[in-house]
Amino acid sequence: MKIIKCNTIEDVGIAANEIMSEMLQSKPNCVLGLATGSTPIPLYREMIKDFDSGKTDYKGVVTFNLDEYVNIPTDHPESYNSFMFQNLFNHVNINEDNIHMPNGITQEECDEYDKSVMDCGIDLQVLGIGSNGHIGFNEPGTDFSSTTRIVDLAASTIEANSRFFNNDTSLVPKQAMSMGIATIMNSKKIVLIATGRSKRDAVNAMLNGPIDAVCPASILQKHSNVIVIVDQEAGENINK
């Protein structure tokens, strides 16, 4: 894995965007895998700046999001659908027909989503990492051969995400539809972004630990084209 250490969160966004804009420019009809959460926001800001300056164009771009809460209305302010429109899609010229958000509850719907992802083939997947080492909502213990399915969120994830729900864990959805680890690993290129001290141990386990379901992100050691971008705090323990 290639590791890029940045000073600030803003620098992480700029570094990730360099890879993104190169993809958008070299392959105008590229397929992007996108993530939600606090971490990708600086990247999305840079992507919007590039679009505003005419450097990038989204009319041929296809997107698939990693995950979405189950039993949350699409237009709920904390749905990942709302997040993506607020933080990226509303600001670029993407064709809405090319936007794919997980939106299902049955295994059949999950299988359909997985098939669309696999058929299109993700050129560049953006990932965050949970402080428990999850990627997407593939929590510790997830089988590396998993595909898109409905998952139960780990208690630590519900706790971490309660900050978006008035700090009330009872308001956080307890399940999500998530791409599986095998689905993610099928991406041609992956950029994993991690910022802040709370990600330090997970980043270290991902890079230096055994490849073990205890840290789902550790499977990325087996992918041939992964770039990990960290700020100082998240990268503090990197000794490789």
Question: Given the complex with ligand PGA, which of 74 and 198 has the nearer CB atom?
Answer: 198
Contact (Cβ atoms closer than 8 angstroms) between residue 101 and residue 63: no
CB of 38 to ligand PGA, least distance (A): 4
- Tokens 């990038």 belong to 56
> Would residue 139 show up in a list of annotated catalytic residues for this protein?
yes
Question: Given the complex with ligand PGA, which of 57 and 140 has the nearer CB atom?
Answer: 140
CB of 151 to ligand PGA, least distance (A): 13
CB of 37 to ligand PGA, least distance (A): 3
> Would residue 68 show up in a list of annotated catalytic residues for this protein?
no
Binding footprint of ligand PGA on the chain (CB under 6 A): 37-39, 128-130
Catalytic site residue from 134, 138, 161, 231? 134
Catalytic site residue from 17, 65, 81, 132? 132
> Would residue 233 show up in a list of annotated catalytic residues for this protein?
no
CA 206 vs. chain centroid, Å, equals 15
> Would residue 78 show up in a list of annotated catalytic residues for this protein?
no
Question: Given the complex with ligand PGA, which of 98 and 175 has the nearer CB atom?
Answer: 175
Helices (H), the chain: 9-26, 41-52, 80-87, 107-120, 155-161, 181-185, 200-208
CB of 101 to ligand PGA, least distance (A): 16
Exposure string of 74-107, with b = 16+ CB inside 10 Å and e = fewer, is eeeeebbbbbbbebbbebbebeeebbbbbebeee
Give the number of residues written for the chain: 240
What positions carry a catalytic annotation? Answer: 67, 132, 134, 139
